[in-house]
Chains A and B, each alone.
Chain A
Amino acid sequence: MASLALRSLGRLAIAAAISLCLNGAHAVETTNVMIDNFTFEPAQLTVKVGTTVTWKNRDDIPHTVVSAGKFRSKTMDTDDSYSFTFTAAGDYKYFCSLHPHMTGTIKVE
């Protein structure tokens, strides 16, 4: 039992090492964007290709996230969330189609 646990721990360590190696110095720490007070936080986010970003609406008012031609969420009521996986590098500017003064950017490298 103990050796099995150790062995799987070792595998985990190897997986972690590989993942660290792949991500290099630009390790992604945040894949969540919170919506509070009609603001995307963080408004600018840099992620690696393949990252899934999740937006969560914590306002008492519904919001959307829309990036023309790229992605479009359903309307998120309070505490609803929306996720999108970025498979290509680039700058993705987005906004809330209900409150267009709310804008943000996901930079995918």
Chain B
Amino acid sequence: MSEFDHDHDEGPNENSGVSRRRVLECMTWAGTGVLWTVSGGVPRSLGLVGSAQAAETAGMTFLQISDSHIGFDKPANPNALGTLEEAIGKINAMPVKPSFMIHTGDITHLSKAAEFDNADRIISQAKLDVHYVPGEHDFIDEEVKLYKERYGRGTKGAGWYSFDANGVHFIGLVNVVDLKAGGLGNLGTAQLEWLEDDLKGKSKSMPIVVFAHIPLWTVYPTWGWGTEDGARALDYLKGFGSVTVLNGHIHQVMQKVEGNVTFHTARSTAFPQPAPGAAPSPGPMKVADDKLRGLLGVASINFKPGDQRLAIIDTPLQG
């Protein structure tokens, strides 16, 4: 399959959750990054490679990478550093340089200083500003200080912040700390209060992009794929005309549109994970060696003005 359009008709249940069929379709890809462009105030995403060259380049373009898991060396991908390097190589080969990049967490696998160093050495080769949010794998050094030392400057609490770029308001949230037994991702009261305050006075016509590691929407609670108090955050975003929520953590593309909000999860640059419920656990999914890079692909996600559905065209890097 060289490309796939997710914007097919799935009937009236489209917004009621992730259908089994869609889940199975989405699990087929693991990729390198998602290229986003904001044109006329509406974020659209383009294929990372190939299709990006033909895509419109007007407006502001930014890139999302996620879950690089530097330090991971298990059978699902013994060389996570190498595949990150390949992803950055693809970004560098793009004819139009993105304005900046966001990384939606799990930069490292075990929060070791050398892992952060290696990740930075590769990612910096893109020569782009990178806006990070942490994953749970970035907070497991004993003193829980390495992530904050490197990426926490100018952020609040565990590392949340916001910034504006080309008329779009970007909000980076942290939902991987103070997790409660039996629960999901967690934002916490302090961060939610900050968010409410951050949005105060913002024009409702200003496009909002929220990014965090764990999906803010409930993807699959059995595997912890969701955020306990994510609904409260989304409450504050009601009334805004265009809200895009970008997450990682689940190492596969998944998307949902609910009213004014578009949810999207990016693929990992390190290893794929199974579709919800398709395996005994969400652990790294081992595929045949010659298949891994076939799974590393490109995703083109289009947010059409006035159209609440997204259209995704995926093209694998190989095969």
A residues in contact (CB < 8 Å) with B: 37-39, 59-62, 64, 66, 68, 74-75, 77-78, 93-95, 97-101, 103
Contacts and interface: CB of A to CB of B under 8 A. Distances in A.
A60 B142 contact: no
Given A38-B281, A75-B140, A97 B179 contact: yes
B70 to A, nearest CB: 14
Interface residues of B, number: 25
B110 interface: yes
B137 interface: yes
Query: Helix, strand, loop or mixed for chain B's interface?
Result: loop
Contacts of B222: 101
B152 interface: no
Interface in B246-265: none
A77 B71 CA distance: 11
Contacts of A64: 140
Query: Helix, strand, loop or mixed for chain A's interface?
Result: loop
Nearest to A39: B281
Nearest to B136: A98
6 contacts: A37-B283, A61-B284, A64-B140, A98-B140, A99-B224, A101-B221
Nearest to B111: A75
B280 A37 contact: yes
A4 B136 CA distance: 58
Top 3 A-B residue pairs of the complex, sorted by shortest distance between their CB atoms: A37-B281, A95-B181, A101-B224
